[in-house]
């Protein structure tokens, strides 16, 4: 556990008692703060009380009279579409509002570091798609190379659940826009933006607010190295803002759509080959085409980001390549879950938006596509140019029929349930086909999470593959 520093003998309030809220309360108490907490869910309050967390109704009058800070869980809106009432009350009481990420960056360093030969470092990864795979891949490459490393944030453990850092250790954090937009302290040593596409637009009042939330990771903390995906205009804008000159190697540009061989430090992937260029010369390359855990151009972009981070951390190209070749992939992200009679079954339940689903569709040649669910803002128009490899779509979800009607020029079958979709897709698949779950939608019309949806897919595949 990482104790929260800077609030000794002060009262700190926590709003939201999910995983991050409860971990934050315990970390505050470990740092000798007086933690009080509230959640609208009675079951969450009861579980927290059983852990020794003091419950205080933060919605009542005068609840903030003795409070030094309010710590908000990431799922609670603080500005758009409307501020949570408790957060608004904290504003009115002039109480600073923060989140667990902000407290972590204030608290991670300790006096023990004075005795270390190499200070620990933090790598923070954000972006619309690929940040989980990129974070996990960085962590995997580092550990395979014998480097001490921990993985936390929006993946793995909560930031306060990690162990105190040891000499030379690297902490890899996956951070969502919900986490970066509110944190008062953001000071990673290396920061990564994988890409940007429309997501969470209601929470950020549009794409501009969404990008602004991501941008804070780079603008607020001034990382030593900035690794920026430049396949979208926002990434090119950000890389330009952070650079002082053409050859400024504090900014590494990455791409999976075009060659980057200018005077700077770049990593790009084209036709399955990763290349590293520095000062106009190629100094490293990897053939990504046969790396099973990184299929498709979208994973090649993730590989570029991970490669760039590991090079900044002192690893050589051969070490990085060895780590990539042993990487098995993440659950629910282009995860190979079965094979029978020449048909492969791939679980990409994490493809919850149009952009990520489009990338999944580009990774395989002939696809039996399982899709549908709770459609996100923006519709499906951005997906339609990428359905050329789809032999047939098998649509699930409560609004499956309406979803199927939007898939123009694609043969569709309304299946509604995962069980029906997998069974029919498997029965109709031919040798060489891929049965791909890439929903392009949220899961909440039928499942509690994308993980549960993916687990259902895996269970249905197991019935077929034995």
Domain ranges in the chain are 11-98, 104-325, 335-465
Closest of 218, 160, 158, 15 to residue 97, by C-alpha = 15
Mean pLDDT of 218-238: 95
Mean pLDDT of the chain: 95
H or E, element range at 415: strand 412-416
The fraction of the chain above a pLDDT of 90, given in percent, is: 87
Q: What angle do CA 253, 269, 124 make, to 5 degrees?
A: 45
pLDDT confidence of residue 210: 96
The fraction of the chain above a pLDDT of 70, given in percent, is: 100
Three-state DSSP state, 177: helix
Write the burial class of residue 223 (CB in 10 Å: 0-12 exposed, 13-18 middle, 19+ buried).
buried
pLDDT confidence of residue 329: 85
Separation CA 428–CA 343 (nearest Å): 10
Separation CA 361–CA 96 (nearest Å): 45
Long-range contacts of 56-60 (CB under 8 A, 24+ apart): 56/13, 58/13, 58/15, 58/86, 58/89, 59/85, 59/86, 59/89
Lookup result for tokens 């926002």:
234
Cβ atoms 124, 190 nearer than 8 A: yes
pLDDT tens by residue, 88-129:
999 999 999 999 999 999 999 999 999 999 999 999 999 998
Under DSSP, the state recorded for 374 is B
pLDDT confidence of residue 126: 98
Mean pLDDT of 439-464: 96
Closest of 396, 451, 390 to residue 422, by C-alpha = 396
Q: 3-state SS of 54-69? A: EECCCCCCCCCCCEEE
pLDDT tens by residue, 401-417:
999 999 988 999 999 99
Cβ atoms 350, 132 nearer than 8 A: yes
Q: Give the CATH number of domain 11-98.
A: 3.40.50.720
Listed in sequence order, the residues at least 6 apart from 390 whose beta carbon sits closer than 8 Å to its beta carbon are 361, 367, 369, 410
pLDDT confidence of residue 406: 94
Class of domain 104-325: alpha beta
- Residue 155 token pair: 């993946």
Separation CA 87–CA 72 (nearest Å): 8
Mean pLDDT of 172-197: 96
Binding-site sequence positions? 127-133
Separation CA 355–CA 15 (nearest Å): 32
Binding-site sequence positions for ATP? 127-133
pLDDT confidence of residue 356: 87
Three-state DSSP state, 226: strand
Report whether pLDDT(418) > 80. Answer: yes
Report whether pLDDT(241) > 80. Answer: yes
Cβ atoms 358, 386 nearer than 8 A: yes
Segment among 5-9, 90-94, 195-199 with least mean pLDDT: 195-199
Separation CA 270–CA 3 (nearest Å): 45
pLDDT confidence of residue 168: 97
pLDDT tens by residue, 298-338:
899 999 999 999 999 999 999 999 999 999 888 898 888 99
Hey, CA dihedral for 455, 457, 460, 464, is it positive or negative?
Answer: negative
pLDDT confidence of residue 156: 76
CATH superfamily of 335-465: Mur ligase, C-terminal domain (3.90.190.20)
Separation CA 213–CA 219 (nearest Å): 10
pLDDT tens by residue, 254-281:
999 999 988 899 999 999 999 999 999 9
What does pTM read for this prediction? 0.86
Question: What are the residues facing 285 on neighbouring strands?
Answer: 275
Separation CA 256–CA 270 (nearest Å): 6
pLDDT tens by residue, 339-356:
999 999 999 999 998 988
Lookup result for tokens 């000159």:
245
The tally of CA atoms less than 13 A away on the side-chain side of residue 227 is: 33
Report whether pLDDT(378) > 80. Answer: no
Helix axes 131-144, 317-325, angle to 10 degrees: 110
pLDDT confidence of residue 221: 82
Separation CA 350–CA 359 (nearest Å): 12
């Amino acid at each position: 556990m990482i104790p929260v520093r800077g609030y000794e003998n002060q009262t700190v309030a926590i709003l939201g008692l999910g995983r991050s809220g409860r971990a934050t309360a315990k970390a505050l108490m470990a740092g000798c703060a007086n933690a009080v907490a509230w959640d609208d869910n009675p079951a969450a309050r009861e579980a927290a009380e059983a852990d020794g967390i003091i419950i205080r109704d933060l919605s009542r009058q005068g609840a903030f009279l003795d409070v030094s800070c309010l710590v908000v869980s990431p799922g609670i809106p603080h500005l758009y579409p409307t501020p949570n009432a408790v957060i608004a009350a904290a504003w009115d009481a002039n109480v600073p509002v923060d989140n667990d990420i902000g407290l972590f960056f204030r608290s991670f360093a300790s006096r023990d570091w004075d005795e270390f030969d190499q200070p620990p470092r933090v790598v923070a990864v954000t972006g619309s798609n690929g940040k989980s795979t990129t974070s996990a891949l960085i962590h995997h490459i580092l550990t395979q190379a014998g480097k001490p490393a921990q993985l936390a944030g929006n993946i793995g453990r909560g930031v306060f659940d990690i162990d105190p850092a040891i000499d030379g250790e690297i902490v890899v954090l996956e951070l969502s826009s919900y986490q970066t937009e509110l944190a008062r302290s953001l000071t990673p040593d290396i920061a990564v933006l994988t890409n940007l596409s429309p997501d969470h637009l209601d929470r950020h009042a549009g794409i501009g607010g969404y990008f602004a939330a991501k941008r804070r990771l780079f603008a607020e903390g001034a990382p030593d190295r900035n690794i920026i995906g430049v396949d979208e205009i926002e990434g090119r804008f950000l890389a330009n803002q952070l650079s002082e000159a053409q050859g400024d190697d504090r900014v590494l540009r990455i791409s999976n759509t075009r060659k980057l061989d200018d005077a700077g430090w770049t990593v790009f992937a084209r036709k399955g080959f990763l290349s590293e260029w520095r000062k106009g010369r190629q100094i490293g390359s990897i053939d990504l085409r046969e790396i099973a855990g990184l299929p498709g151009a979208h994973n090649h972009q993730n590989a570029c980001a991970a490669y760039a981070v590991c090079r900044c951390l002192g690893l050589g190209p051969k070490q990085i390549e060895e780590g990539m070749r042993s990487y098995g992939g993440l659950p629910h992200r282009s995860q190979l879950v079965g094979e029978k009679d020449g048909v492969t079954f791939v679980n990409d339940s994490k493809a919850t938006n149009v952009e990520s689903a489009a990338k999944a569709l580009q990774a395989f040649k002939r696809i039996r596509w399982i899709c549908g669910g709770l459609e996100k803002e923006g519709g499906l128009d951005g997906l339609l140019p990428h359905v050329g490899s789809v032999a047939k779509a098998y649509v699930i979800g409560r609004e499956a029929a309406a979803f199927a009607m939007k898939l123009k020029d694609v043969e569709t079958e309304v299946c509604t349930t995962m069980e029906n979709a997998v069974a029919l897709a498997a029965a109709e698949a031919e040798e060489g086909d891929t049965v791909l779950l890439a929903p392009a939608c949220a899961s909440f019309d039928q499942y509690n999470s994308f993980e549960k949806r993916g687990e259902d897919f895996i269970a249905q595949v197991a019935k077929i593959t034995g």
